[in-house]
Amino acid sequence: MFANQFKQHISKFSTSPFLFVGSGFSRRYLGLPTWELLLMEICKDLKLNKPYNFYKSNADSKLPKVASIIGQDFNEIWWSSPEFEESRTHFASLAETKFSPLKFEVAKMINSKIELVQNETIDKELKLLKKINIDGVITTNWDQLLERTFPDFNKFIGQEELIFSELYSIGEIYKIHGCSSKPNSLVITEEDYLNYEERNAYLAAKLLTIFIENPIIFIGYSLDDKNIQSILKSIIKCLTKEKVEKLKDRLIFCQWNPEPIEPTIIDSTLLISDTVIPIKLIILHDFIDIFTVLANNKRKLPIKILRQMKGMVYDFVKSNTSKSKIYVTDNLEDIEKLHNAEFVYGVGLKDKFAEVGIKGIELKDILTDTINSREWDPSKISQLCLPYLNGKYIPYFKHLKNAGFLNENGKIDEDNEITEFSPGFIKKVNEVQIESFYPSASYIRKKEEINITYQSFNELKATANQLHILFYTPLLLVEKINLEDLKQYLEENIELLNNSSMGTHFRKLICLYDYLTHTNNHS
């Protein structure tokens, strides 16, 4: 299955992926036109006296040159025409070159198209996209969809900012062709591209570590895209042949197929500057499986906190007169107020969880807490502990309910955007049902007989041996299980948690109690 193959491939790397995002992404989610269609559209809107084909033929069909000729013609119109008076009011003081007016109008057009494409698949993809765990994004797109999708990421616009800024390679968006929020930064004309190519080697050197250390997933580009070829060519120039080998399997290209097909992942190659680079090629019709796998990629701390911590470490290590003070905290709420804390070492939840000590919270602690409450913060347990526990039987529902994460049906809403729960965790919780606690098939066959024999949990407890109590209780009709009686039994027999032969079955009974008590599945 594709999802498993992709998951296995991503798990080979110790770092999270970077996305490299192209114009196909903006077309898919915002309905933005291709570059040529955008130039045709802008040509109409700018009230130029010549048709688009005039500019195209005079530029030998080279789009950057088309933009240059349009920009040159439009410059005088923009400065004199009453139709652009409002634009001049906003942008006149920002004009830097004769091409600035064209860039202002292109930026305005892009910024006006903020409505997302409406369809069920797109909606599902975007909800998953918001939850993916990645280290950052590199993009040639001008629109601001990525910033809206990843609001905690820092944004760097254009080569200038990238080359002269301290990059941490985590929680960052690199807009290498500029952004509509800063119109002058747009790389659109022939002159812009020449300037961009001159500095490409510096940009490549800045991005080199990311390409060597992270898997890079290309979305919205074709394999022969000139922008990608240019970046990869500059990166390869920085590497020896041995180092080029390190790129192997790190470059993952997503190729969209208009036909509804099952996604596949295959080995392929790219030829860059006479160098053959092995790549992974994913052929797909939608991105649901890819985004689901990336959303299930576990990350212990929110990206904005990781980025701030990394920045403080950088500053502390590189400077003899560091701006940062060393600050030690074990309370996550302190970390959310990092303007007071400059260098953070160690993250924990001592104030709330002191009784479990430095080892942290384990499944056994959560199981014990289900019947003997330690008054922990349910929101922190739900978000920082439950998703990372390993085991088949985990008592999820007490803390999820008390934290307000369960709906009236005792489930987590799949489109819940107030948490960082991965789709995999949500699915695991939502799939729990009474049958999840049943014993083996040989005992299930006795369900009817057990319910004829025992009229209540107390009756079962009074007459059956310990093993049968553990096996038969989940098979009782729920109305026969008095939850107070079940809780008392669990409290009195808590030592069974450590019993080698009965521990698993006792754990299952604790989880049944948790499920019946904190969902609407008990009459």
DSSP codes of every residue in 415-466 = T--SS---HHHHHHHHT--GGGG---HHHHTTHHHHHHH-SSHHHHHHHS-H
Provide the domain count of the chain: 5
Q: How far apart are CA 140 and CA 188, in angstroms?
A: 11
Question: pLDDT value at position 345?
Answer: 46
Residue 26 three-state SS: helix
Q: Do the domain assignments include residue 523?
A: no
Could you state, in chain order, the average pLDDT of each consecutive group of 10 residues for the chain (523 residues)? 91 91 96 93 89 95 96 94 92 94 95 93 95 94 96 92 82 95 96 91 87 93 87 84 79 94 92 84 96 81 56 50 49 47 45 45 90 88 87 93 91 72 88 93 92 94 92 94 94 91 93 93 66
Question: pLDDT value at position 383?
Answer: 85
| Pair 28, 39 in one domain | no
- Which domain, by its residues, includes 360? 351-432
Boundary residue ending a domain (432, 453, 470): 432
Per-residue pLDDT tens over the stretch 466-493 = 999 999 999 999 999 999 999 999 999 9
| Pair 237, 372 in one domain | no
| Pair 319, 287 in one domain | no
| Pair 153, 252 in one domain | yes
Per-residue pLDDT tens over the stretch 44-91 = 889 888 999 999 999 999 999 999 999 999 999 999 999 999 999 999
| Pair 412, 276 in one domain | no
Report helix angle 423-430 to 288-295, nearest 10: 90
The whole-model pTM stands at: 0.72
Q: Do the domain assignments include residue 192?
A: yes
- For 17, phi then psi, to 5°, come to -70, 160
CB-based burial, 482-511: b 16+ in 10 Å, e otherwise: eeeebbebbeebeebbeeeebbebbbbbbb
Question: pLDDT value at position 502?
Answer: 92
| Pair 290, 274 in one domain | yes
Q: Do the domain assignments include residue 247?
A: yes
Residue 385 three-state SS: helix
Question: pLDDT value at position 240?
Answer: 78
| Pair 194, 325 in one domain | no
